[in-house]
Amino acid sequence: MSPRRKERRVVAVAGAAALVAVGLNLAFSAVAAHRRRKQQELPGFNAQVNLSAAEIKRLADRIIAKSKETYDAVAAVPLDKVNFANAIAPLAELDAQQFPLVQACVLPRMVSPSEDICRASADAEKRLDSHFLLCRQREDVYRVVKAFMERGERIGPEATRFVQCLVREFERNGAKLTQAKKEEMEKLKSLIDDLNLKYIQNMSDFTKFLLLSEEELAGMPPEFLKDLEETDGKRKVLLTGYYVTPILEHCKVGSTRKQIAVAYGQKGGKQNVAILEKLVQIRHRLARLLGYSNYSDFAIEPRMPMTSRKVLEFLEEMSEQLSDLANRELTVLKELKMKEEGNAQFGMEDLLYYMKRGEQHKLDLDIGEIKRYFPVKLVISGMLKMFQDLFALRFEEIKDVEVWHDTVRLFSVWDASSSDLLGYFFLDMFSREGKYDHTCVVALQNGYMCSNGSRKVPVAVLLSQCPKEFDGNSALLRFPEVVRIFHEFSHVVHHISNRATFSRFSSLRLEGDFAEIPSLLLENWCYESISLKMMSGFYQDITKSVTTEACQSLKRRRDMFAGLKLKQEILLCLVDQIIHTSENVDIDDLVKDLHPKVMLGIPLLEGTSPASCFPRIAVGYDAVCYSYIWSEVFAADLFTTKFKDDLLNQHAGLRFRNKVLAPGGSKDPLEIITDYLGREPSLQPFIQSRTRNAL
């Protein structure tokens, strides 16, 4: 029997035994069943929508009770009696069956117009997060799972990976620590949360403004000036990104740009630098408590590079490889400044302004005009067609099914050749009050193999805030919004394509390094004529798609000054990585030393500290700021090697779907991509693509 078939048999048989042993009947009782009957008739679809506030509370209670029951049952297994059926299968089944129930509690917070339902959903999310954190810290369950792993039972590669993930998750959450060390860990986490909040609060409380005359704001559009409050004959400029970025891009007065850049660069101030230094010290203490030499190694261990050393090497090589390109770009910008301002020193305050000038000089592109070619409905229909054609899929809209708003659409997804059902997705695309205000994807159900051998299919929701129709005319999208929606729908297709046995390996539960690679790869189609024409049409005559020349200009605009833009990102990523690998680093001194080295001699603006107003380094992306650049590099290699010369090659798309998207997290991501490329990924395609289109 092949390892794969054996693994499926182990999961199916052991899963069935576990169901009998611990009574894992998580079927959701028929609350308001008449409202949901049509959804329950959809094959492989268990997700719930439109729960009331009371139903959300009861469901959360039931999830917590069943979870506790299952963990208690696993914890009770004698260590000399552990096997897959009593130690692992119950946890796998619990994860698979509870995931859509948890999501049924969480989704309403993002989409419901009812304040009561949103509150109930937010409360349920907090309770469930707290409960699951406690579950991941249970030493008694960890001992059982660890005992099974140490037995070395042959269960197949995906099941083995699942067990390894369980053990790692327990250990990273402190399950093997003594009680005293667990208490210390909780104190450290609490301190980290408090400092995170203070860092963000300092930035939010920053209310400084500058009073500038219209002469000092020369070059700013009249509508921008009208938006500024007038005080004593001057304009009041609040130091927020909403006002600062346009001034740095458009203001002709160099001294004004510098004044604005310096003032904005002091946001958070010395207080935030001190907070960040304290945060880093506490993170190192937490990492050492859990057995790691530094916090960066802790943060990166479950991700693609695995070690901080690999990340530092990657960032340093990227910076070096980009230097020639960035130097050429900087020369262009300095020449533009010389023509406009004379022999003045080029500073950081000049970057955005002269990049914008360079774009205007090199490109014949009217962004306002481009918008007229992207009506919302045409973008969506063209996008769906493109994904169907490329990946050999068939989307069918399902009518008359219960949804949470009358603008929401539901589609089933089928394999075009075999007619196998692959999954479902909801499109909730239009703005409304109370709805989550960003474009994103939410998984409602993960695909997995059931204990009886049948398969539950993935279900996803794409949320966006597209403008509504006006007077029967489809609203228009700005080009960055087109790219954003396309990027997020790529996550939908990744999720739907998943064929892993375990729910744990769904594509939307992957670490960020790998999860973003397919979507960043597919963003390339937003800059190619053949696909852009499928998604575009003049709003007054949709038979007239965006021109080939405009498509080429959009691509050049993306890549113009890419070297300098990436150098700025790399600088912050290096700061993030160095402070999280080393003890007692003076952050201000580090930035002052690194800045001219990375930024080709451009000095740091005096009196500013980028670390004081860079929230990613403090909250959410600590020690992993590198991730987006890493994913871009992998995506560029995949695109250049496999798709660039034949963008709608269905054979290539199907192979990508089966080789890269289908495994989800069931295999090592670096192994997946290396196997697909036939070699290790390289930096060169990324550098070459940006260099070729840059100037």
Residue with tokens 């405009």: 550
Could you give the C-alpha distances from 664 to 45, 273, 454, 672, in angstroms and in order?
A: 20, 39, 19, 10
Instruction: Look at residue 565 in the predicted model and tell me its pLDDT.
Output: 95
Instruction: Look at residue 299 in the predicted model and tell me its pLDDT.
Output: 97
3-state helix, strand, coil in the chain (%, to 5): 60, 10, 30
H or E segment to which residue 449 belongs? strand 448-449
Instruction: Look at residue 472 in the predicted model and tell me its pLDDT.
Output: 67
What does the DSSP assignment read for 357-389? HHHHHH----HHHHHTT-BHHHHHHHHHHHHHH
Q: Give the architecture-level CATH label for domain 53-176.
A: Up-down Bundle (1.20)
Query: CA dihedral defined by 119, 124, 130, 133, rounded to 10 degrees?
Result: -130
CATH number among 3.30.70.270, 3.30.1540.10, 1.10.1370.10, 1.10.10.10, domain 180-206+268-362+561-637+683-694: 1.10.1370.10
Q: Which residues contact 631 (CB under 8 A, 6 or more apart)?
A: 512, 513, 514, 516, 517, 520
Q: What are phi and psi of 686, to 5 degrees?
A: -65, -50
CATH number among 3.40.50.300, 2.30.30.30, 3.40.50.1360, 3.40.390.10, domain 370-555: 3.40.390.10
Report which DSSP code applies to 613.
G
Asked whether the CA dihedral 514, 442, 53, 57 is positive or negative, the reply is: negative
For the record, the structure tokens of 539 come out as: 């709003």
Instruction: Look at residue 566 in the predicted model and tell me its pLDDT.
Output: 96
Instruction: Look at residue 232 in the predicted model and tell me its pLDDT.
Output: 87
Instruction: Look at residue 207 in the predicted model and tell me its pLDDT.
Output: 86
pLDDT averaged per 10 residues in sequence order, the chain, 695 residues: 41 34 35 43 87 97 98 98 96 95 96 95 97 96 97 93 97 95 96 95 90 96 93 93 95 96 92 96 97 97 96 97 96 95 92 94 85 94 97 96 93 96 97 92 95 91 90 85 97 97 90 92 96 94 93 92 96 97 93 96 92 90 96 96 94 97 95 95 90 66
Three-state DSSP at 543 gives: coil
Residues 585, 373: Cα–Cα separation, whole Å: 51
Instruction: Look at residue 693 in the predicted model and tell me its pLDDT.
Output: 64
Of 7, 216, 349, 488, the catalytic one is 488
H or E segment to which residue 76 belongs? none
Q: Which residues contact 675 (CB under 8 A, 6 or more apart)?
A: 659
The domain ranges of the chain are 53-176, 180-206+268-362+561-637+683-694, 207-266, 370-555
Active site residue 511: no
Cβ atoms of 636 and 689 within 8 Å: the answer is yes
Instruction: Look at residue 400 in the predicted model and tell me its pLDDT.
Output: 87
